[in-house]
Structure 1
Amino acid sequence: MKSIDKRNKLKEEAFSYRVSKDNRVFISWHGKQVMILKGKESEKFLSKVSKANTIEAQLIMAKITGNFKRGNEKTSKISKK
Protein backbone atom coordinates (compact mmCIF):
# COMPACT_ATOMS: atom_id res chain seq x y z
CA MET A 1 0.00 0.00 0.00
CA LYS A 2 2.93 2.31 0.68
CA SER A 3 3.94 2.47 -2.99
CA ILE A 4 0.36 3.29 -4.05
CA ASP A 5 -0.28 6.13 -1.60
CA LYS A 6 3.04 7.97 -1.49
CA ARG A 7 1.46 11.30 -0.46
CA ASN A 8 -0.90 9.78 2.16
CA LYS A 9 -3.98 11.16 0.40
CA LEU A 10 -6.08 8.08 1.20
CA LYS A 11 -5.86 8.78 4.92
CA GLU A 12 -7.72 12.06 4.38
CA GLU A 13 -10.89 10.10 3.54
CA ALA A 14 -11.83 12.38 0.64
CA PHE A 15 -14.28 9.83 -0.80
CA SER A 16 -17.57 8.74 0.71
CA TYR A 17 -20.58 6.81 -0.53
CA ARG A 18 -24.21 6.19 0.27
CA VAL A 19 -26.61 3.51 -0.88
CA SER A 20 -30.20 4.20 -1.91
CA LYS A 21 -33.18 1.89 -1.40
CA ASP A 22 -32.89 0.55 -4.94
CA ASN A 23 -29.17 -0.30 -4.38
CA ARG A 24 -27.77 2.62 -6.34
CA VAL A 25 -24.44 3.81 -4.94
CA PHE A 26 -23.65 7.52 -4.90
CA ILE A 27 -19.91 8.20 -4.61
CA SER A 28 -18.83 11.64 -3.43
CA TRP A 29 -15.49 13.41 -3.26
CA HIS A 30 -15.22 16.07 -0.53
CA GLY A 31 -19.02 16.09 -0.34
CA LYS A 32 -19.60 16.57 -4.08
CA GLN A 33 -21.23 13.71 -5.97
CA VAL A 34 -18.95 12.46 -8.74
CA MET A 35 -20.42 9.10 -9.75
CA ILE A 36 -23.51 6.90 -9.54
CA LEU A 37 -23.28 3.11 -9.75
CA LYS A 38 -26.27 0.87 -10.40
CA GLY A 39 -27.00 -2.75 -11.17
CA LYS A 40 -24.10 -5.17 -11.26
CA GLU A 41 -21.56 -2.36 -10.85
CA SER A 42 -23.08 -1.34 -7.52
CA GLU A 43 -23.29 -4.95 -6.31
CA LYS A 44 -19.62 -5.52 -7.18
CA PHE A 45 -18.62 -2.27 -5.46
CA LEU A 46 -20.56 -3.05 -2.29
CA SER A 47 -19.06 -6.54 -2.01
CA LYS A 48 -15.53 -5.12 -2.36
CA VAL A 49 -16.08 -2.28 0.11
CA SER A 50 -17.68 -4.53 2.72
CA LYS A 51 -14.45 -6.56 2.92
CA ALA A 52 -12.10 -3.54 2.92
CA ASN A 53 -10.72 -1.37 5.69
CA THR A 54 -10.95 2.43 5.52
CA ILE A 55 -7.85 3.05 3.41
CA GLU A 56 -8.62 0.18 1.05
CA ALA A 57 -12.17 1.52 0.62
CA GLN A 58 -10.75 4.93 -0.27
CA LEU A 59 -8.51 3.29 -2.87
CA ILE A 60 -11.42 1.34 -4.35
CA MET A 61 -13.49 4.52 -4.71
CA ALA A 62 -10.52 6.40 -6.20
CA LYS A 63 -10.01 3.67 -8.80
CA ILE A 64 -13.71 3.49 -9.69
CA THR A 65 -14.10 7.23 -10.14
CA GLY A 66 -10.97 7.33 -12.26
CA ASN A 67 -9.73 10.61 -13.59
CA PHE A 68 -12.74 12.82 -12.97
CA LYS A 69 -10.54 15.85 -12.23
CA ARG A 70 -9.13 17.45 -15.34
CA GLY A 71 -7.41 20.47 -13.84
CA ASN A 72 -10.15 22.92 -14.74
CA GLU A 73 -11.57 23.12 -11.22
CA LYS A 74 -9.48 26.14 -10.29
CA THR A 75 -10.63 29.57 -11.26
CA SER A 76 -8.49 31.04 -13.95
CA LYS A 77 -6.41 34.10 -13.26
CA ILE A 78 -7.17 37.12 -15.39
CA SER A 79 -3.96 38.60 -16.66
CA LYS A 80 -3.59 42.33 -17.01
CA LYS A 81 -2.31 43.47 -20.38
Structure 2
Amino acid sequence: MNGPSAPADEGEDFSPAPTRPFDLGFSHRERKDGSLEVLHGGRQAALLRGNRALGLLHILNTGSFEQGQQAMAKITGNYKRGNEDQAARHPRRTG
Protein backbone atom coordinates (compact mmCIF):
# COMPACT_ATOMS: atom_id res chain seq x y z
CA MET A 1 0.00 0.00 0.00
CA ASN A 2 1.59 3.23 -1.15
CA GLY A 3 -1.27 5.55 -0.17
CA PRO A 4 -1.58 7.56 3.00
CA SER A 5 -1.86 5.63 6.22
CA ALA A 6 -5.14 5.29 8.05
CA PRO A 7 -6.03 8.24 10.29
CA ALA A 8 -5.41 7.88 14.00
CA ASP A 9 -8.34 7.13 16.28
CA GLU A 10 -10.27 10.09 17.64
CA GLY A 11 -8.56 11.61 20.68
CA GLU A 12 -5.09 10.30 19.80
CA ASP A 13 -2.59 12.91 18.71
CA PHE A 14 0.78 11.59 17.69
CA SER A 15 2.09 14.85 16.22
CA PRO A 16 5.16 16.21 17.99
CA ALA A 17 4.75 19.27 20.17
CA PRO A 18 5.61 22.46 18.30
CA THR A 19 9.07 23.67 19.22
CA ARG A 20 11.23 26.48 17.97
CA PRO A 21 14.93 25.99 17.46
CA PHE A 22 17.07 27.93 19.94
CA ASP A 23 14.14 28.34 22.34
CA LEU A 24 15.76 28.92 25.73
CA GLY A 25 12.42 29.33 27.49
CA PHE A 26 12.40 33.13 27.73
CA SER A 27 9.48 35.45 27.05
CA HIS A 28 8.72 39.05 27.88
CA ARG A 29 5.82 41.21 28.94
CA GLU A 30 5.53 44.99 28.71
CA ARG A 31 3.93 46.75 31.67
CA LYS A 32 1.78 49.86 31.64
CA ASP A 33 4.47 51.86 33.47
CA GLY A 34 6.94 51.25 30.63
CA SER A 35 8.99 48.59 32.39
CA LEU A 36 9.69 45.22 30.83
CA GLU A 37 9.37 41.86 32.56
CA VAL A 38 11.61 39.08 31.33
CA LEU A 39 10.11 35.68 32.09
CA HIS A 40 11.82 32.32 32.12
CA GLY A 41 9.51 29.35 32.17
CA GLY A 42 6.60 31.64 33.00
CA ARG A 43 8.26 33.09 36.11
CA GLN A 44 9.76 36.55 36.39
CA ALA A 45 13.53 36.45 35.94
CA ALA A 46 14.21 40.19 35.56
CA LEU A 47 12.45 43.54 35.61
CA LEU A 48 13.97 46.19 33.37
CA ARG A 49 13.30 49.92 33.34
CA GLY A 50 14.57 52.88 31.36
CA ASN A 51 17.31 52.47 28.80
CA ARG A 52 17.87 48.78 29.51
CA ALA A 53 14.19 48.06 28.79
CA LEU A 54 14.26 50.15 25.61
CA GLY A 55 17.45 48.45 24.40
CA LEU A 56 16.05 44.98 24.92
CA LEU A 57 12.75 45.93 23.27
CA HIS A 58 14.68 47.16 20.25
CA ILE A 59 16.47 43.81 19.95
CA LEU A 60 13.22 41.87 20.44
CA ASN A 61 11.35 43.93 17.83
CA THR A 62 14.06 44.10 15.16
CA GLY A 63 16.11 40.94 15.67
CA SER A 64 15.36 37.30 15.07
CA PHE A 65 13.77 35.00 17.63
CA GLU A 66 17.19 33.51 18.41
CA GLN A 67 18.73 36.95 18.99
CA GLY A 68 15.91 37.83 21.37
CA GLN A 69 16.38 34.62 23.34
CA GLN A 70 20.13 35.23 23.63
CA ALA A 71 19.62 38.87 24.68
CA MET A 72 17.14 37.87 27.41
CA ALA A 73 19.53 35.15 28.63
CA LYS A 74 22.38 37.68 28.88
CA ILE A 75 20.22 40.23 30.70
CA THR A 76 19.09 37.71 33.31
CA GLY A 77 22.56 36.27 33.86
CA ASN A 78 21.40 32.84 32.69
CA TYR A 79 23.83 32.83 29.81
CA LYS A 80 26.81 30.61 30.52
CA ARG A 81 26.09 27.15 31.72
CA GLY A 82 28.43 24.24 31.68
CA ASN A 83 31.92 23.68 32.92
CA GLU A 84 33.12 27.26 33.54
CA ASP A 85 33.53 26.60 37.26
CA GLN A 86 35.48 23.39 36.65
CA ALA A 87 37.65 25.05 34.01
CA ALA A 88 38.67 27.83 36.40
CA ARG A 89 40.00 25.22 38.87
CA HIS A 90 41.89 23.21 36.26
CA PRO A 91 45.61 22.71 37.07
CA ARG A 92 46.68 24.44 33.85
CA ARG A 93 44.83 27.59 34.94
CA THR A 94 45.96 27.67 38.56
CA GLY A 95 49.63 27.88 37.52
- Tell me the TM-score normalized by structure 2: 0.56
What corresponds to 1:64 in structure 2? 75
Tell me which structure has the larger Cα radius of gyration.
Answer: 2
Q: Does residue 1:44 correspond to 2:55, yes or no?
A: yes
Q: Deviations over 1:31-74 (max 9, x none)?
A: 11110001111111111211111111100100111149xxxxxx
What corresponds to 1:31 in structure 2? 42
| C-alpha RMSD of matched pairs (Å) | 1.8
**Matched residue type, 1:30:** G
**Matched residue type, 2:75:** I
> Any unmatched runs of 5+ in structure 2?
1-20, 80-95
Q: Is the 8 A contact 2:23 2:66 kept in 1?
A: no
- Tell me the TM-score normalized by structure 1: 0.64
Q: Is the 8 A contact 2:39 2:45 kept in 1?
A: yes
What corresponds to 2:23 in structure 1? 12
Q: Percent identity?
A: 31
Q: Is the 8 A contact 2:37 2:46 kept in 1?
A: yes
